Amino acid sequence: MAQPAKTILWVDDEAELLEPHRLLLEDKGYRVETATNADDALELLRRHTYDLVLLDEQMPGTRGLDAYRDIREISPTLPVVMVTKSEEDTTLKEAIGANIRDYLVKPVTPRQVLTVITRILDGPLIRSQALARAFVERFRAIESERYAGLDWRGWIERFSELMQWDVDLADAGELGLHESLRGLYPDMHREFANFIRTEYPRWLRELDGDRPPLSVDVVTEFLLPLLARDRKAIFIVIDCLRLDQWRALEPSLNGLFDVETTHYYSILPTATPYARNALFSGLFPGEIAARFPDWWGERDDEALNAHEKELLVAHLAELNVTANVRYQKLTTAADSDDLERHLPAAIAGDGVHAFVFNFVDMLTHGRSESMILYEVARDEIALRALTRQWFERSALFSLLKEASRRNVSVVVTSDHGALHCNSPATVFAKRDATANLRYKFGEDIRAERPEQALLFSNPDDLRLPHRGPGNNTLMAAGDTFFVYPTKLREYQSRYRGSFLHGGVSPEECILPVSLLTPKR
């Protein structure tokens, strides 16, 4: 069924000169109505619906910019293109300040007018169609490509590509194609778990071999070069931020920074006590427990992260780096308000200014406990949108704007990601097993279906602290979460559909690390 023609109102006192423009527009499928003054145009707008207004700035009577303000009252979202003979900067700035959609300087050709109208009215559809064509063509190739031959670089490239398609298709409203893309994820999760099962222990045995950057390498490889160059660096860790969420935030930064993003792999388990401590300390959890027993102990909760500043200071000292370290963790609204009030002081002086933002992690955890959060962050698309909405009004964005204004470069990363989990995986364990949903430690612990989890019996394979003889490490693969046979229904009703972490998936393991260089 043919779509009705889009209607354009052209307001210009020289309407008789517009005939060539009108004929071209109508030949291209648009319907054009004209008015020779602002009063007639406003009356037409009150009685009819239009898709776009072309508005002359210099007309007898009410000038175009004054008429534009009246148009906004009648139709606040109607796109308006200003057409003027004036090339003065003041007119251009006034039009931009009034939020005019576009600006043309006479004389204009019919083709120029058509280009602007097509971009405004049909641009989103044209871009969506082009994206759909490109994805359909690439999808066939992705389907035929296999994961088995990928090394760690290949996994980053493949996962990064899939995440970009995920973001782009969702933003374009191509939800049917997005579902096709999601159909590739079960195979990806299964093959990634097989890859990590063999390669991760090898990476840790052969630290000087061909391996990816890990959590323990982030400070050395990404922060230190910046500190050596500028004697000052801002280091930001956004807890539990996935790669696709970072891709959704990046466009907000393009006006402030040149953004250079690469990737690293989180250590296992992909949980805050392990991954973030490794990130700040440059040490694996077993090494932290041996070197700083008072800071580690036998706890499993996030109290293990109480010494992140001290770990970073010790790490820099071991690297023979002399630098002041300032550290701030933001968990509450009061923390954010305090940072907003003291932004210049928060990043004043040389050295490392480290910040940990916990909102995304709190959102993913709180979603399991709150029906309201569950509804507004129902899936990955909604989670990205909510993360973007938070970011644009956050103390983090204010901090980054202040860094750009003061010409201070920033390293931004995450400690681990999270996975949308829908499949319960039954596990058997003794009473000593830990309570985590995507990873567990315990004696004789095992999964009912071995393909749903990775089992490690030797903590040295993961460089984890020793917990006594017979203790195993079990980490979830795919979109599973662990349940006990006696609590199957309780766990299913409570945790199905939750965003969880601690297991083995690209979403949890492959993380962005970005260098933000202020635009000068």
Q: What is the pLDDT of residue 22?
A: 86
Listed residue (378, 390, 384) closest to 166, CA to CA: 384
Clarify whether residues 247 and 383 are in a common domain.
yes
Cα 426 to Cα 484: distance, rounded to the nearest angstrom: 6
Inside any domain, residue 383: yes
pLDDT of residue 289: 92
Is there a single domain that holds both residue 142 and residue 278? no
Same domain, 134 and 215: no
What's residue 302's pLDDT?
Answer: 58
Quote the mean pLDDT of the chain: 90
For 333-365, the pLDDT digits (tens) are 999 999 999 999 999 999 999 999 999 888 777
Shared domain for 216 and 359, answered yes or no, is yes
Task: Select from 92, 120, 148 the last residue of a domain.
Answer: 120
Per-residue confidence (pLDDT) for residue 295, from 0 to 100: 86
Instruction: Return d(Cα 19, Cα 118) in angstroms, integer.
Output: 18
- pLDDT tens digits, 255-294: 999 999 999 999 999 999 999 999 999 999 999 999 998 8
- Is residue 255 located within the same domain as residue 336? yes
The enclosing domain of 45 has a CATH number of 3.40.50.2300
Q: Does residue 203 belong to any structural domain of this protein?
A: no
Whole-angstrom Cα distance, residue 324 to residue 233?
11
Whether 251 and 386 share a structural domain = yes
Asked if the structure places residue 198 within a domain, the reply is no
* Mean pLDDT of all residues in 467-475: 82
Domain count, the chain: 4
Pair (372, 393) in one structural domain: yes
pLDDT at residue 149 is higher than 90: no
- CA end-to-end distance (rounded Å), the chain: 51
Q: Alpha-carbon distance 36 to 56, whole Å? A: 9
What's the domain range around 432?
420-503
Q: pTM above the 0.85 mark?
A: yes
The C-alpha atoms of residue 111 and residue 433 are separated, in whole angstroms, by 71
DSSP for residue 222: I
Q: How many CB atoms lie within 10 A of CB 510?
A: 23
Confidence of residue 1 (pLDDT cuts 50, 70, 90): very low
